[in-house]
Amino acid sequence: MRIHIYYGGRGLIEDSNLYVLSKITEVLEELRVEVKRYNLYECKNEIAVLASGIKEADGVILAASVEWYGIGGLLQQFLDGCWLYADKTKLSNLYMMPVVVSTTYGEREAEQNLMKSWELLGGSLCPGITAYVENQAEFETNGNYAKVIETRAENLYRTINQKIKALPSSTFALKETISGSVPMELTPQESEQLSKYVSDDTYVKKQKADIEELSQLFKEMMDRTDGKDSSQEFIRNIKDNFNPPKEDIKAIFEIRMTDNNKTLIVDVDKDKLNCYYGDSDYADVVATTTRAVVNKLVNGRTTFQGAFMSGELTAKGDFKTLRMFDQLFRFDKL
C-alpha cells in the first residue's frame, strides 16, 4: 500500500502540522505502508506534475496549515492541477484524509473545503484530523492528542485496505454536471505530458515569447496592408452603399477613430456624397470610436445606432441626424 502526503504549509518549525504528519507516518510505516511526503513549498514549479503522479498512490493525505484564512495557495494550486491533469479514473478509487492544523479560526471550514474539493474530483473520503493549536509544546506533548492522531491513522489504513464504501452524496451529481461542461478530454498519458509542459518554466516562457513574436509580426503585416491605401480606407465601402434620400437632407458626420488618430468625414448634400479624411468645422454629428468598430459598421456587422447604444461608439450633436446614418447607408453584411 502506498500513501502520498501533500503538505501545503510553509515548513516552519512552529507548525504543529509537521508533528501530526510525523505521527501518522510512524503508524503507517509500522503497518508496512509506503509513505511519501511532498512539501509543496519545495516544489512550486512541479505541482502540475505531482498532480499527474497521484495515480501511483492508494491513498492521499492533504495537509493544510491555517495561519490566517483558508487552506493556502499551494494546496489550492495542487487541487487545481488534479482537476486539470490527474487521471480521473484513478482518482475515483482514491481515499483522502484531510489534516488541518490551525493557529487561528477556520480549521473546520478548511477541512470542509478539502473534502468538497476531493468529492468534486470524484474521490472518496476518510475521517480527518482538525486541531486548533494555541500552545505548540502543550499540544505536541499531550498523550491523549497523540492517541487520537494514531487512531485516525489506523482508520485510514483500514478504510483503504478494506475499501470501505461511503453512502451516496449529492456532490457526486454536482461533479457529473461540472465534468460535463469541460470541453477538453485528455487521456491519462496526454494529461501527464501536458502537466510536464505546464510545470516547465523554460517551455512556458518560450511559448509566451513565440506568441508575442507572432503577434508583433501580424501587427506589422496589418500595418503594411493598411498603409498601401490608408487614405481611402472605408471610403469605397461608404460610397458603394450610399442610399440617396428622397427628400432634401444635408448632414455632415465626423467619425473620429482613436486608435489610429484618423477622422473620417461623411458629407451628405441631398443626393451627393463627399467622403474624405480630414476635419470639419460644421459637423452635425461628431462620433468617437475605433477602427475595428468602423470596420464592423461598413461590413454590415453592426449599425451606427447599434454601436452607439452598445457603447462601442460615442456621439454628440443632432441625434435626429445620428439616426439618419443607417437610412443613408445600407451596408451588406459580410
Residue 205 forms part of a structural domain? no
- Residues 240, 179 share a domain: no
**Cell reading at 92:** 475515483
pTM here is 0.55
In percent, the amount of the chain with pLDDT more than 70 equals: 83
Helices 201-228, 188-199: axis angle to 10 degrees equals 80
Rounded to an integer, the average pLDDT of 282-309 is 92
User: How many domains is the chain built from?
Assistant: 2
Q: What is the pLDDT of residues 98-131, one digit of tens each?
A: 999 999 999 999 999 999 999 888 888 999 999 9
- Identify the pLDDT of residue 69: 87
Q: Is the pLDDT of residue 1 over 80?
A: yes
- The 3-state DSSP composition of the chain as helix, strand, coil percent (nearest 5) reads 50, 20, 30
- Identify the pLDDT of residue 232: 82
Q: Is the pLDDT of residue 207 over 80?
A: no
- Identify the pLDDT of residue 228: 46
**Cell reading at 297:** 459598421
Give the pLDDT band (50/70/90) at residue 181. very low
Q: Is the pLDDT of residue 202 over 70?
A: no
**Cell reading at 37:** 511526503
Rounded to an integer, the average pLDDT of 233-238 is 90
Closest CA to 314 of 244, 256, 227: 256
- Residues 242, 104 share a domain: no
**What's the chain's average pLDDT?**
84
Q: Is the pLDDT of residue 201 over 70?
A: no
Task: Concatenate the DSSP letters of all residues of 158-213 into one string.
Answer: HHHHHTPPPPP-HHHHHHHHHHHT------HHHHHHHHHHHH-HHHHHHHHHHHHH
Q: Tell me which of 264 and 213 has the higher pLDDT.
A: 264
- Identify the pLDDT of residue 163: 86
The CA–CA distances, whole Å, from 286 to 72, 195, 277, 329 equal: 53, 53, 14, 17
Q: Tell me which of 215 and 61 has the higher pLDDT.
A: 61
Return d(Cα 217, Cα 194) in angstroms, integer.
27
Rounded to an integer, the average pLDDT of 287-306 is 92
Q: 74: alpha, beta or left, given left = phi > 0 and alpha = psi -120 to 50?
A: alpha
In terms of residue numbers, what domain contains 256? 232-328
Say which residues have a Cβ less than 8 Å from residue 108's Cβ, sequence separation at least 6: 130
Q: Is the pLDDT of residue 246 over 80?
A: yes
Residue 283 forms part of a structural domain? yes
CATH label of the domain that carries residue 145: 3.40.50.360
Q: Tell me which of 216 and 116 has the higher pLDDT.
A: 116
- Residues 191, 87 share a domain: yes
CATH label of the domain that carries residue 299: 3.30.1050.10
Q: Is the pLDDT of residue 261 over 80?
A: yes
